[in-house]
Structure 1
Amino acid sequence: MSETSGSGGRGEIWIEKYRPSALAEVAGQDDITERLRSYVAQDDLPHLLFSGPAGVGKTTSAMAIAREIYGDDWRDNFLELNASDERGIDVVRDRIKNFARTSFGGYDYRVIFLDEADALTSDAQSALRRTMEQFANNTRFILSCNYSNQIIDPIQSRCAVFRFGPLPETAVAEYVEQIAGEEGIEITDDGVDALVYAADGDMRKAINGLQAAATTGETVDEEAVYAITAAARPEEIETMVQHAIGGDFTAARAKLDDLLTDWGLGGGDVIDQLHRSAWSFELDDQATVRLLERVGETDYRITQGANERLQLEALLASLALGDAGE
């Protein structure tokens, strides 16, 4: 648990307050953290590339490495940059080179952490590759990205690649309950389940949801969680689909309107929950595959700028006409 953890402190941002300070405390990525700890223990850290979805421990692991190598001096020997904010080649030529060139005492190398590295332009990545070669003796790079295929091959070949997966539900639930205990919050079992469902493997989303729900009352329960997260109860989604599959397009459309208007979901949120819940509907495998095909088509059209309500209604209409069972 974080070095600043403890009860109270509701004015703090919990994702920072409870950010693990050691690799052993990172939740749900045991195989990865074990390998990283061996690098630190042997004082043999290579360049690293972390890839995976948001909220699964990439940034936390990078910071924990720096803490374990440098102790109290970690901030002086760790440079964090966000490539999505500084996309151009100047960030590579200027800030990274200046940091890599500056003198430091007592350590063999310093660490540069480049978050969202897949947002760097091709020119910037090429410059980064050259910089990694030029300062290999006294600098280690840790790159973080959502999609490793957006990183050029010459950089990937210079790094040890670690692929972070979505966090297991048990890991998210345990951490949420631990934070609730630290903060003196009463949380029900269905509240934990709702946070785990809404987070979908993203610890940051789960912690933010817990903090927001804790401000609404004395007890964090399912109702409080769904009131503040961009998610509807799974049964709401299932009811909508079952109406459509049963041929009752009017009822399905009314339920969709509730989700978009009363629940405040966006079209992408509805698509995400449809995708996650598809296999829980009472459909045979062929019908489920057909449903997923329709969901994929709708998602593509929405991301290309089509009207999300119109596309979702078209999806429900196709189910009502029996297309999902063809």
Structure 2
Amino acid sequence: MSEADAETVPGRGTIWVEKYRPQTLDDVAGHDDITARLKSYIERNDLPNLLFSGQAGIGKTTCAVAIAKELYGDSWQSHFLELNASDERGIDVVRDQIKNFARHDPGAVDFQIIFLDEADSLTSDAQAALRRTMEQFSDKTRFIMSCNYSSKIIDPIQSRCAVFRFGPIPDDAVAGYVQYVADEEGIETTDDGIEALVYAADGDMRKAINALQAAAVMGEQVDEESVFVITSTARPEDIKEMVRHAIDGDFTRSRSILDELLTERGMAGGDIIDQLHRSIWEFDLDDDDAVRVLERVGEADFRITEGANERVQLEAMLASLALDN
């Protein structure tokens, strides 16, 4: 297929996550309070060191790049260094790349920005060296760090930063932005298709847009079925039915649904655990049943994480729930 032909096929030609990445803080969806505070720093040209924490795909990197673009305009790349700490996590990256950039004269601007993505991957020695670098070049360099777990960032660095905790993007914001992308690309969607994208994304905008692009290639319309297939996600009602049969003592029927999810749909045990955990309170269970399910889910998750067989642990979880009946 030629490039010209590829452009006429929905989902081909470009990566939508990058094509529709917000360019300004005003365009960032779902974090109005955070973007309002960041814009106030930009308006005063008084940016502190920043620490963004939260799960993947919720806008941390987008906000960091948007800050640089709004501060520096077209020359933002000259004053902005982006490093992924998970690639180079040792002390050498601080001593070499970071320190070399930090000591540069920012020229016409008041300060330059170093953005460390996945900063929680830095070793303890690297973080200690980074703390000293932050102090040494505080007059001409600002640091923006993003991480999944702020608890893995040492306290001396946290105390030198304004901490912003990014929560999962609200469902209505995900739905609105996904619909906007679909409209821009001329993709026909159904209401249940959008709902399925929101459910599968679980607050992760990047996952939602990637799923939309993948589903758009499968057919003329993005509906619930295509989304669940492409994301290898179980329907919420299937998870609910599996748990309900187990609680009612029907282990055979519950195990049959589990087998379908693992074998026919190719789901990973960890994904089933994740869906179970976030859906428990939507199952209309009484408190005692919900507590029992949570206890069994936690035990199965721990054992799977430690390397136990996924199928055995999930079947044992359902059997335990059935025996408690």
- Show CA shifts across 1:150-206 (max 9, x none): 100100010000000001000000000000000000010000000000000000000
Residue in structure 2 matching 1:292, options 267, 290, 294: 294
Cα-to-partner distance string for 1:234-291 (whole Å, 9 max, x where unaligned) = 0111111122112111111111111011111111100011111112224211211111
**C-alpha deviation, 1:8, in angstroms:** 7.1
Cα 1:88–1:180 change in 2 (3 A) is: same
Which is worse superposed, 66-75 or 93-102? 93-102
Q: Tell me, in whole angstroms, the C-alpha distance in 2 between the residues paired with 1:209 and 1:289.
A: 33
Match of 1:75 in 2: 77
2:206 maps to 204
Is 1:268 the equivalent of 2:274?
A: no
Q: Which amino acid aligns with 2:152?
A: Q
Structure 1 stretches of at least 4 aligned residues deviating more than 6 Å after TM superposition:
none
Partner of 1:215: helix, strand, or coil? helix
How far residue 101 of structure 1 moved from its aligned partner, in angstroms, is 2.1
User: Displacement, 1:9?
Assistant: 7.6
Work out which of the residue numbers 124, 132, 137 in structure 1 matches 2:134: 132
1:82-102 deviation digits (Å, cap 9, x = unpaired): 111111101101001111123
Query: Unaligned stretches of 5+ in structure 2?
Result: 1-8
Partner residue in 2 for 1:214: 216
Q: Which residue of 2 aligns with 1:4?
A: none
TM-score of the aligned structures, taking structure 1 as reference length: 0.95
Letter in 2 for 1:254: S
Report the counterpart of residue 231 of structure 1 in structure 2.
Answer: 233
Name the amino acid aligned to 2:280. Answer: A
SS in 2 for 1:129: helix
For residues 112-151 of structure 1, the aligned pairs below 5 Å read: 112-151=114-153
- Per-residue CA shift, 1:6-55, capped at 9, x if unaligned? x9783111111100000011100000000000000000000000001111
Decide whether the 8 Å contact of 2:105 with 2:140 is kept in 1.
Answer: no
Q: Which residue of 2 aligns with 1:19?
A: 21
Partner amino acid, structure 1, of 2:129: A
Query: What does 1:46-65 align with in structure 2 at a 5 Å threshold?
Result: 46-65=48-67
Give the whole-Å Cα distance in 2 for the aligned partners of 1:54 and 1:311.
27
Question: 1:106 maps to what in 2?
Answer: 108
> What number of residue pairs does the alignment pair up?
317
Unaligned stretches of 5+ in structure 1?
A: 1-6
Question: Percent identical across equivalent pairs?
Answer: 71
Report 1:147-162 matches (<5 A): 147-162=149-164
Contact 2:10 2:213 (C-alpha < 8 Å) held by counterparts:
no
* Alpha-carbon distance in structure 2 between the residues aligned to 1:47 and 1:151: 14
Partner Cα separation in structure 2 for residue 26 and residue 55 of structure 1: 12
RMSD value over aligned CA atoms? 1.3
The equivalent position to 2:178 in structure 1, one of 170, 176, 179, is 176
Partner in structure 1 of residue 255 of structure 2: 253
